[in-house]
Amino acid sequence: MKLILSVIFIFLSAVTIAQELPATHYKIYSTSAQKTITPDDIVNDMANADVIFFGEEHNDSTAHYLEFSLFKKLSEKYPQKTALSMEMFQTDCQLVLNEYLAGLIREKNLVTDARTWPNYKDYKPLVELAKSNHLPVIAANAPTRYTNMVTRGGLDALKQLDAQAKSYLAPLPIDTATGAYYDKFAKIMGGHASMPGMQIYQSQNLWDATMGWSIAKFLKNHSGFKVLQLNGGFHSEEKLGAVAQLKKYAPKLRVLNIATYMDDSFDKPDWSKLAGMADYIILTDPKLPKSF
């Protein structure tokens, strides 16, 4: 009984924080208008979109609160037509995730068998909201063992997999076109000269493609749903990465994206750096405690 009450308390506390977080701790900007907006404005804009990518910094506690708030508002505006898609769960764990959402297994089994991230507490309120409202959660990410295969041996290594293993991945071959995304990826790796080869970029593309494919596959079978996709910011900045891959699988889908950054100048954004990053920019107070 004590354990049950503790779980309920933690969940309700997270809900309360998400709803009551002072707006002085963050600013949400419309990039096109370069002015502040509210989560309700984003939800209203979803009338003209199918998917919204929320690009987070994984330890930004404020961003996690806003993710929950946005998901809650979407589920209220589109009851039984809202889905959550997550980088934080891998495709081969979809069955386990579904069993938890249906109340068939305990949370401890979800944590172990679905290989939840160490900071699962940051995402638990969203999963619990989906569970209580009978909303789908998409385990969108490629299994790590297969991205590791590509990092070691390139995309051709995946040809050795059997049909079941391949069913957890975006269809082969994976598009690894060079261009803006490759240049951006090389830059964070220390420059083109520092890249050990194309394999690590190919594994990034497998990651992105599988997330995009997971969303496209879901919407093919769930017409009219609104999908909130959570991932690290790099995967969806400038509508490259997973966004671009999604558009290859479902060109007609309408996509919005959010980029979040912890930034001391959250009251005065530098639009010369931010203008092209996303439809919406969320800047949060970096002095607030991190989630880990």
What pLDDT, on the 0 to 100 scale, is given for residue 190? 87
Tens-digit pLDDT profile for residues 131-186: 999 999 999 999 999 999 999 999 999 999 999 999 999 999 999 988 999 999 99
pLDDT bucket at 22, cuts 50 / 70 / 90: confident
Give the C-alpha separation, 230 to 129, whole Å: 15
What pLDDT, on the 0 to 100 scale, is given for residue 11? 42
DSSP assignment of 138-151 = EEEEPPHHHHHHHH
Other CB atoms closer than 10 Å to residue 34's CB: what's the count? Answer: 12
What pLDDT, on the 0 to 100 scale, is given for residue 13? 44
Predicted TM-score (pTM) of the model is 0.92
Q: What average pLDDT does this structure show over 85-98? A: 98
What pLDDT, on the 0 to 100 scale, is given for residue 84? 99
Q: Pull the structure tokens for residue 255.
A: 């996509």
Q: For residues 232 and 185, is the Cβ–Cβ distance under 8 A?
A: no
Cα dihedral 213/219/225/229 (nearest 10): 0
Q: Return mean pLDDT, the chain.
A: 92
Closest listed residue to residue 34, CA positions, set 292, 287, 279: 279
Indicate the length of the chain as a whole number.
292
Q: Pull the structure tokens for residue 218.
A: 């879901």
Give the single-character DSSP code of 60. Answer: -
Q: Pull the structure tokens for residue 111.
A: 């944590």
pLDDT of 18 > 80? The answer is no
Query: DSSP alpha helices (H): ranges in the chain?
Result: 2-20, 39-45, 61-77, 94-101, 107-113, 124-132, 144-153, 163-166, 180-188, 199-221, 242-249, 271-274
Kindly give the pairing relationship between strand 280-284 and strand 26-30: antiparallel
Give the single-character DSSP code of 100. Answer: H
Which residue type, as a one-letter code, is found at position 240?
L
Kindly give the pairing relationship between strand 51-56 and strand 255-262: parallel
Query: What are the residues whose beta carbons fall under 8 Å from the beta carbon of 291, sequence distance 6 or more?
Result: 58, 59, 60, 61, 64, 119, 121, 122
Give the single-character DSSP code of 284. Answer: E
What pLDDT, on the 0 to 100 scale, is given for residue 44? 98
pLDDT of 16 > 50? The answer is no
Higher pLDDT, 46 or 20: 46
Q: What average pLDDT does this structure show over 112-130? A: 98
- Cα-Cα-Cα-Cα dihedral sign, residues 103, 109, 112, 117: positive
Q: For residues 210 and 170, is the Cβ–Cβ distance under 8 A?
A: yes
Task: Find out whether the peptide bond into 136 is cis, omega within 30 degrees of 0.
Answer: no
Q: What average pLDDT does this structure show over 235-242? A: 98
3 state SS of 87:
strand
Q: For residues 285 and 248, is the Cβ–Cβ distance under 8 A?
A: no
Kindly give the pairing relationship between strand 35-37 and strand 26-30: antiparallel
In whole angstroms, how large is the CA radius of gyration of the chain? 19
Higher pLDDT, 8 or 227: 227
Closest listed residue to residue 42, CA positions, set 28, 56, 55: 28
What pLDDT, on the 0 to 100 scale, is given for residue 20? 64
pLDDT bucket at 191, cuts 50 / 70 / 90: confident
